[in-house]
Amino acid sequence: MTVDVTHDVVIVGGGIAGLTIAWELARAGRDVVLVEASEDAGGMLRRGAVAGLDADLGAESFATRTTGVADLVADARLPVQLVEPAPAGAHVAFRRRSGRVDRAPLPRRALVGMPADPTAADVVRIIGRAGARRAAQERLIPWSSGPEPTLAELATSRYGARVTARLVEPLCRSVYSQAAGSVRLSALHPVLWERAEALGSLTAAVDALAPAVRAGSAVRGVEGGLWRLAAELHAAALRAGAVIRTGAPAHAATATTVELDGETLSARAVVLATGPTAAAGLLHVEVAPAPPVGLIVAEVVADAFDAFPVGSGVIAAPDVDSAAKALTHVDAKWEWAAAALPAGTHLVRLSAQEGRQGELTDAAGAATAIRTLTGVRISPADVRRVIPIAWPDAVATPSARAAVTEAAATRGIRLAGAVAAGTGLASVIPHARALAAALTSSPTPSEGARHVR
């Protein structure tokens, strides 16, 4: 059935980008409809009950490289409290030449794994003296004006292989769920890339931008869980007059229409704020889907974790044989979680290596990964509950982004979310707000309405 109403804007995708745009347009008086395929809006900001907590089952923190999240919270008057992580920093696990797995705190002053001072003691502890001597030459290497290389190529050519293997690669895989050889710095940290080009040195750029803080603390969270950000923004968009329809999968889109089951929505503008594979499907473009992002949330009861043995968590270098590439000790990272959990109970998140999530879905597999990454000897009996989560459309590869961007531009469709803005709330939210501002320049506002399920 085709409805004869023409909305100002129809948004496909109810993640944080779609919700941000819906709120912005609705408060500006636009008639905006958001459709979300799943039964709940929020995208990767989801919750689940673990150890008596409503824990994050997706993203649990956001980078502070922009003020985008804090600005949105203030402007939308969202009733959430932004919080800093606890002082304990994060660690990296790597294999020494002897074969022994070692663990060390990540450098205090580094961005995307690249150090501001390669000769600092906390850097030398990880990459060794020879690696530090090579990395210290970075400032002396002439800057190439050619096409931007991959992050792995960039880091290796500038800093040397040891920095790439023990710092850049594990951080890229754990934080951004992409190999350093498949992504460019400009997509992960555009400000750092721009500064490096201007200064002709990565070391100089990191030195100018990196705060002198514990590794892992250049992020913030939300008291009670990051999922609350999406939940409260959802509510704010409804109050402003947006129509949000969950359980409403879209099947095709043009510049002025969105096809649902038995229904066509008409609009003056259409925004796709979905994952890259979903966007490609709506645009009838073939892209190779990225592997799903696998996550395990586990309840652990073990006295050895009371002392926070790896601070807020640990990331694994590629030479560490583990089914998990990273571990977050939630109650070591967030004081609100520590206060809410029973004494002796801990919440651990394991990020699965590509293709190895199946090894982590029971207590034995989770315990093995925890032992490998932390060095703490726990048994399967110490792992009281394991919740596996898979996010199948979470990563926008460069090829998928390029194909979707070209197809959308050709059809006159706007894009939002990671496929357009890059990874992370710090990029996605400012981009979504800028897109909404451009859309509100249209002179035809009309009334919004209600939430339809």
Does the domain spanning 107-214 belong to CATH 1.10.3110.10?
A: yes
**408 backbone dihedrals φ, ψ, rounded to 5°:** -65, -40
Residues 111, 196: contact at Cβ < 8 Å? no
pLDDT score for 398 = 83
* Other Cβ atoms closer than 10 A to 3: 10
What are the backbone dihedrals phi and psi of residue 311, each rounded to the nearest 5 degrees, phi first?
A: 60, -135
pLDDT value for 442: 63
Supply the pLDDT for residue 449: 36
Backbone angles phi, psi at 124, to 5 degrees: -60, -35
* CATH fold for the domain made of 2-80+223-289+395-452: FAD/NAD(P)-binding domain (3.50.50)
Alpha-carbon radius of gyration of the chain: 22
Identify whether the C-beta of residue 429 lies closer than 8 Å to the C-beta of residue 68: yes
Contacts (Cβ under 8 Å, ≥6 apart) of 331: 337, 338, 341, 346, 347
From CA 398, how far away is CA 204, in angstroms rounded?
27
Output the pLDDT for position 441: 84
Instruction: Please give the pLDDT value at position 448.
Output: 36
Count other Cβ atoms within 10 Å, centred on residue 361.
16
- Rounded to 5 degrees, what are φ and ψ at 127? -100, -5
Specify the pLDDT at position 217. 55
**Other CB atoms within 10 Å distance of the CB of residue 434:** 13
pLDDT of 452: 41
CATH code of the domain occupying 291-391: 3.90.660.20
Q: What is the pTM of this model?
A: 0.88
Question: What span, in angstroms and rounded, lies between the C-alpha atoms of 58 and 296?
Answer: 10
Q: In this structure, are residues 17 and 417 in contact, taking their beta carbons and an 8 Å threshold?
A: yes
How far is Cα 21 from Cα 431, in angstroms, rounded to an integer?
Answer: 10
Break the chain into its structural domains and give their ranges: 2-80+223-289+395-452, 107-214, 291-391
Record the tokens describing residue 412, joined without a space. Answer: 């006159």
Whole-number pLDDT of residue 274: 97
Residues 391, 292 contacting (CB under 8 angstroms) = yes
Structure tokens at 404: 């979707």
Q: What is the pLDDT of residue 291?
A: 86
Amino acid 395: pLDDT: 83
The residues with which 328 forms a beta bridge, in sequence order, are 313, 349
Quick one: CA torsion of 211, 228, 389, 36, rounded to 10 degrees? -120
DSSP 251-296: -EE-SSEEEETTEEEEEEEEEE-S-HHHHHHHTT---PPPPPEEEE
Q: Greatest CA span in the chain, whole angstroms?
A: 72
- Strand (E) or helix (H) holding 403: helix 398-411
CA distances from 56 to 73, 223, 266, 318 (A): 19, 11, 35, 26
Ranges of the chain whose pLDDT falls below 70: 1-4, 212-217, 442-453
Name the H helices within 28-120: 68-75
